[in-house]
């Protein structure tokens, strides 16, 4: 079988996505590769498919197709080519990820196993025994196992054609996910009788991390591809609302049955929000570091298996969650930096279907995060100088995060620029691109703010400046004698949020600046003069006042707006009709039933994307069903008839 046939047969897809084919071909030529692709881009197939092809090539070469072929190989053989009983080892940092991947492969009819600490000694021995027998073309293994003698014994005698390193950035100490075990990969590869192809994959694209991966995994002249950081299927939104709980509740009401995550800044928030939502009958569960191991594990499973599809959690939740049908990520509070935000929001829409990431902002979030930064336990071991530096960097990152909540430019563009990618500044799929703005002259407000900073001799922080121009009568203002400042009360009629917006605009555009120390004092810049005396007009794009959406009405989104095509944005976009929506619900229910029976997460049976495609094509026969993206031969045999049945029945209901 060639690669296209395999792609269709096992995975049910007709075409490759950006970057996949190049990496697969390079691996098959025996070349190392480095794939830098965002979450959901389809990295797994880049090593799973060649793993199968190498296996087949080897079996054909030796004149047998048996999976249990003995593994003999000579030292002069080229790796990756025509080797018998070829095995691919996939090194992965997280037990839950491995489990998910292996379940997915088994569902697609591919033998795979994992070796990690979640297995009992008996299970481990059995898996290793079957591995030695040559049963598995693909074996997932935790980095720590690479030094265990039993495993090394197996590896020495197996025909390891490829070592695929998933989440390869874990080898680098630059990122937050450094795993010491990853440094041992290179030693392990060196002990093998024949050097396998080494294929590394990550979604982290910074220069330092990339260089570390190449060096520390000793990639040899790797074929590289970077498909960029953008997640086109994600909608980004920011809402500054008074009643955040109300906004969350309204969102859930508008998206019944959808799986999603609600991130909160504190454990207390998690408990409050979860309890209230549960009290109102929403299918929610919770997760934070203060819960018992048992509760965390149980709640996580409830979420993954769609028993409780809405998870309320702190940032402790999510590492290793491979759930592909997360349709929304709401932030009940602003995270401390854009790295965290993009990582957390990025857990939505891994299946490539439209999903929404909405940040509900409140001014208090800045203070909460400042507190986290000042009291970060991780920094306690650093010497004073370094600690200062780290804190300054964190404050700067918090500021950029805050500006995200205030910018009127394209949100996606803002994020991508932060990560060093430059695009057009209109994406058409974020709350700013979709809002109507009008140009508003805010010169007078700007003059008051800058004037206030100047006249107080650049000694105070944001809140004092805002309170002063707003004319607040507080003890603090009086004690600083800011009530005697010439700008005191100069903008008494301007609502506070608007004042803050203008001040942020001045900071973003460098008419004012802030010091990096803990006092975060507002300072003048070279450009301040332009406003104070240069007569420069300050014009801001401000959202037009929009009537509040009525209850039950929200942005149309989610699976309704489906995009279809190999890249996820290609041709065939359209919305599901109400009848198709109803069919989707029935198919989703059927999927849940099957998943319960098989004890696997629903998205492992078929992705949301596949269900949507079924609703569009409405297959009536096996041949038609096999045209649905994500339906391979093996899955058809297992589930095809039941889904066909469901589609036929709903056809007759409609008629
Ligand atoms: P990553 O590891 O890059 O985050 P995955 O490998 O988990 O992404 O793939 C994300 C989703 O995209 C999975 O549901 C996968 O089956 C699907 N996918 C991968 N390749 C293709 C393709 N060529 N066509 C359609 N869907 C694909
Ligand atoms: Zn946009």
CA distance 346 to 375: 27
CA distance 121 to 127: 10
Share of the chain above pLDDT 90, in %: 64
C-alpha neighbours within 13 Å on the C-beta side of residue 502: 25
pTM of the model: 0.76
User: pLDDT by residue (tens digit) across 367-404?
Assistant: 899 888 888 777 777 788 888 888 888 898 899 999 99
Please report, for residues 456, 509, 533, the alpha-carbon distance to residue 527 in angstroms, rounded to integers and kept in the order given.
18, 9, 10
Minimal CA–CA distance to 200: which of 92, 113, 297? Answer: 92
Handedness of CA 267, 272, 274, 275 (dihedral sign): positive
Q: How would residue 179 be classed by pLDDT, with cut points 50, 70 and 90?
A: confident
Ligand 1 atom at minimal distance to the Cα of residue 629: 25
- Cα of 46 vs centre of ligand 1, distance in Å, is 9
Minimal CA–CA distance to 238: which of 304, 333, 161? Answer: 333
Q: Check whether 547 has a pLDDT greater than 60.
A: no
User: pLDDT by residue (tens digit) across 92-114?
Assistant: 988 888 988 999 999 999 999 99
CA distance 177 to 169: 7
- Residue partners of 422: CB distance under 8 A and separation at least 6: 416
Cross-strand partners of 112: 138
User: pLDDT by residue (tens digit) across 269-298?
Assistant: 999 999 999 999 999 999 999 999 999 999
CA distance 76 to 69: 20
Mutate to test the pocket of ligand 1, among 45, 101, 204 (most ligand atoms within 8 A of CB): 45
Handedness of CA 541, 545, 548, 549 (dihedral sign): negative
Ligand 1 atom at minimal distance to the Cα of residue 44: 6
CA distance 601 to 586: 17
Q: Is 43 in the pocket of ligand 1 (CB under 6 A)?
A: yes
CA distance 409 to 431: 10
Q: Cβ atoms within 10 A of the Cβ of 153, count? A: 12
User: pLDDT by residue (tens digit) across 580-607?
Assistant: 999 999 999 999 999 999 989 999 999 9
Query: Can you give the pLDDT at residue 498?
Result: 85
- Residue 14 CA: which ligand is closest? 1
Q: Is 137 in the pocket of ligand 1 (CB under 6 A)?
A: no
Q: Is 282 in the pocket of ligand 1 (CB under 6 A)?
A: no
- Residue 606 CA: which ligand is closest? 1
Residue 538 has which token pair? 């300050």
Query: Can you give the pLDDT at residue 241?
Result: 84
User: pLDDT by residue (tens digit) across 181-219?
Assistant: 999 999 999 999 999 999 999 987 678 889 999 999 999
Residue 445 has which token pair? 């407000």
Highest average pLDDT, of 68-72, 74-78, 241-245, 316-320, comes from 241-245
Q: How would residue 148 be classed by pLDDT, with cut points 50, 70 and 90?
A: very high
- Cα of 450 vs centre of ligand 2, distance in Å, is 30
Q: Is 10 in the pocket of ligand 1 (CB under 6 A)?
A: no
Handedness of CA 625, 630, 635, 640 (dihedral sign): negative
Cross-strand partners of 298: none
Q: Please state, rounded to an integer, the average pLDDT across all residues of the chain.
A: 87
- Residue 408 CA: which ligand is closest? 2
Mean pLDDT across 138-162? 94
Q: Is 324 in the pocket of ligand 1 (CB under 6 A)?
A: yes
CA distance 82 to 53: 9
Mutate to test the pocket of ligand 1, among 23, 37, 42, 564 (most ligand atoms within 8 A of CB): 42
Ligand 1 atom 5 nearest Cα: 42
Of the ranges 1-5, 33-37, 651-655, which one carries the lowest mean pLDDT score?
Answer: 651-655
CA distance 242 to 248: 12
Handedness of CA 198, 199, 203, 205 (dihedral sign): positive
- Residue partners of 645: CB distance under 8 A and separation at least 6: none
Query: Can you give the pLDDT at residue 101?
Result: 92
- Residue 326 CA: which ligand is closest? 1
CA distance 192 to 244: 56
Minimal CA–CA distance to 259: which of 199, 211, 306? Answer: 306
Tell me 343's DSSP state.
H
CA distance 152 to 164: 17
Q: Is 44 in the pocket of ligand 1 (CB under 6 A)?
A: yes
* Region for residue 535 given its phi and psi (left: phi exceeds 0; alpha: psi -120 to 50; beta: otherwise): left
Query: Can you give the pLDDT at residue 567?
Result: 36
Burial of 529 (0-12, 13-18, 19+ CB in 10 A): middle
Query: Can you give the pLDDT at residue 496?
Result: 83
Q: Check whether 563 has a pLDDT greater than 70.
A: no
Ligand 1 atom at minimal distance to the Cα of residue 16: 23
- Cα of 415 vs centre of ligand 2, distance in Å, is 10
Query: Can you give the pLDDT at residue 380?
Result: 72
- Residue partners of 125: CB distance under 8 A and separation at least 6: none
Ligand 1 atom at minimal distance to the Cα of residue 11: 16
Give helix 338-345 / helix 411-418 axis angle, nearest 10°. 120
- Cα of 614 vs centre of ligand 2, distance in Å, is 30
At CA 171, angle to CA 166 and CA 175, rounded to 5?
Answer: 100
Minimal CA–CA distance to 602: which of 39, 104, 234? Answer: 104
Ligand 1 atom 17 nearest Cα: 42
Q: Is 16 in the pocket of ligand 1 (CB under 6 A)?
A: yes
Long-range pairs of 248-251 with CB within 8 A, sequence gap ≥ 24 = 248/273, 248/277, 248/330, 248/332, 248/360, 249/277, 249/280, 249/282, 250/551, 250/554, 251/328, 251/330, 251/358, 251/554
User: pLDDT by residue (tens digit) across 33-59?
Assistant: 999 998 888 999 999 999 999 988 766
Ligand 1 atom 13 nearest Cα: 351
- Residue 325 CA: which ligand is closest? 1
Strands in 404-516 per DSSP E = 437-441, 512-514
- Residue 43 CA: which ligand is closest? 1
Minimal CA–CA distance to 326: which of 281, 263, 267? Answer: 263
Q: Is 55 in the pocket of ligand 1 (CB under 6 A)?
A: no
User: pLDDT by residue (tens digit) across 235-269?
Assistant: 999 998 889 999 999 999 999 999 999 999 999 99
Say if residues 555 and 546 touch (Cβ distance below 8 Å): no
Q: Is 103 in the pocket of ligand 1 (CB under 6 A)?
A: no
Ligand 1 atom 25 nearest Cα: 13
Mutate to test the pocket of ligand 1, among 20, 44, 564 (most ligand atoms within 8 A of CB): 44
Q: Is 49 in the pocket of ligand 1 (CB under 6 A)?
A: no
Phi (first) and psi of residue 364, to 5 degrees? -65, -25
Query: Can you give the pLDDT at residue 644?
Result: 96
- Cα of 434 vs centre of ligand 2, distance in Å, is 7
**CA-only gyration radius of the chain, Å:** 28
Long-range pairs of 520-524 with CB within 8 A, sequence gap ≥ 24 = 520/395, 520/461, 520/462, 521/458, 521/459, 521/460, 521/461, 522/453, 522/458, 522/460, 522/461, 522/462, 522/465, 523/453, 523/458, 524/450, 524/453, 524/454, 524/458
Query: Can you give the pLDDT at residue 67?
Result: 37
Q: Is 17 in the pocket of ligand 1 (CB under 6 A)?
A: yes
Query: Can you give the pLDDT at residue 562?
Result: 47
Please report, for residues 402, 502, 523, 531, the alpha-carbon distance to residue 510 in angstroms, rounded to integers and kept in the order given.
15, 12, 10, 11
Q: Is 19 in the pocket of ligand 1 (CB under 6 A)?
A: no
Of the ranges 68-77, 170-179, 468-477, which one carries the lowest mean pLDDT score?
Answer: 68-77
- Cα of 222 vs centre of ligand 1, distance in Å, is 22
- Cα of 230 vs centre of ligand 2, distance in Å, is 12
Say if residues 443 and 505 touch (Cβ distance below 8 Å): no
| Residue in this structure with the two tokens 């998933």, named with its chain if needed | 166
């Amino acid at each position: 079988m060639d690669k296209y046939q395999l792609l269709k047969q096992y995975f049910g897809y007709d075409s490759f996505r950006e970057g996949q084919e190049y990496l697969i071909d390079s691996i098959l030529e025996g070349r190392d590769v480095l794939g830098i692709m965002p979450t959901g881009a389809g990295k797994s197939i880049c090593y799973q498919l060649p793993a199968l092809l190498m296996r087949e090539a080897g079996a054909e070469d030796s004149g047998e197709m048996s999976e249990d072929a003995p593994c003999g190989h000579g030292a002069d053989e080229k790796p990756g080519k025509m080797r018998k009983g070829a095995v691919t080892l996939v090194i992965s940092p997280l037990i839950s990820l491995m489990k998910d991947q292996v379940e997915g492969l088994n569902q697609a009819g591919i033998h795979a196993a994992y070796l990690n600490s979640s297995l009992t000694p008996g299970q481990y021995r059995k898996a290793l025994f079957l591995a030695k027998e040559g049963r598995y073309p693909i074996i997932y293994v935790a980095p720590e196992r690479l030094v265990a003698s039993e495993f090394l014994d197996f590896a020495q005698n197996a025909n390891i054609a490829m070592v695929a390193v998933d989440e390869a950035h874990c080898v680098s100490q630059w990122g937050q996910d450094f795993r010491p075990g990853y440094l041992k990969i290179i030693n392990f590869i060196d002990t093998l009788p024949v050097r396998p192809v080494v294929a590394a994959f990550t979604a982290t694209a910074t220069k330092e991390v990339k260089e570390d991966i190449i060096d520390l995994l000793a990639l040899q002249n790797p074929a590289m591809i970077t498909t960029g950081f953008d997640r086109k299927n994600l909608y980004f939104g920011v809402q500054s609302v008074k009643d955040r709980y109300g906004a969350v509740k309204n969102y859930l009401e508008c998206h019944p049955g959808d799986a999603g995550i609600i991130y909160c800044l504190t454990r207390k928030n998690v408990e409050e929000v979860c309890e209230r939502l549960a009290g109102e009958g929403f299918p929610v569960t919770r997760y934070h570091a203060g819960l018992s191991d048992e509760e965390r594990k149980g709640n996580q499973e409830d979420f993954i298996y769609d028993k409780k599809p809405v998870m309320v959690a702190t940032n402790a939740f999510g590492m290793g969650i491979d759930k592909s049908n997360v349709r929304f990520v709401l932030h009940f509070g602003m995270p401390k930096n854009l790295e965290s935000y993009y990582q957390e929001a990025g857990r939505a829409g891994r299946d490539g279907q439209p999903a929404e990431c909405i940040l509900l902002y409140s001014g208090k979030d800045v203070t909460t995060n400042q507190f986290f930064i000042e009291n970060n336990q991780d920094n306690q071991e650093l010497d004073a100088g370094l600690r200062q530096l780290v804190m300054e960097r964190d404050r700067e990152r918090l500021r950029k995060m805050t500006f995200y909540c205030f910018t009127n430019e394209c949100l996606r563009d803002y994020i991508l620029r932060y990560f060093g990618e430059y695009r057009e500044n209109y994406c058409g799929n974020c709350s700013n691109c979709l809002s109507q703005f009008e140009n508003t002259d805010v010169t007078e407000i700007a003059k008051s703010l800058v004037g206030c900073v100047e006249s107080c001799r650049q000694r105070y922080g944001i809140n004092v400046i805002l309170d002063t121009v707003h004319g607040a009568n507080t003890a603090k203002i009086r004690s600083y004698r800011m009530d005697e400042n010439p700008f005191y009360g100069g903008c008494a009629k301007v609502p506070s949020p608007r004042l803050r917006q203008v001040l942020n605009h001045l900071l973003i555009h460098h008419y004012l600046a802030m010091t990096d120390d803990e006092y975060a004092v507002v300072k003048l810049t070279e450009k301040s003069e332009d406003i104070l005396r240069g007569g420069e007009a300050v014009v801001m794009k401000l959202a037009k006042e929009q009537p509040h959406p009525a209850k039950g009405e929200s942005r149309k989104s989610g699976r309704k707006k489906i995009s279809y095509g190999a890249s996820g944005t290609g041709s065939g976009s359209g919305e599901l009709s109400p009848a198709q929506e109803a069919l989707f619900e029935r198919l989703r229910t059927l999927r849940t039933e099957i998943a319960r029976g098989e004890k696997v997460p629903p998205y492992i049976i078929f992705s949301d994307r596949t269900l949507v495609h079924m609703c569009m094509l409405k297959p009536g026969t096996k041949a038609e069903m096999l045209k649905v993206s994500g339906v391979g031969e093996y899955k058809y045999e297992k589930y095809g008839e039941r889904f066909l049945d469901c589609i036929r029945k709903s056809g007759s209901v409609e008629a």
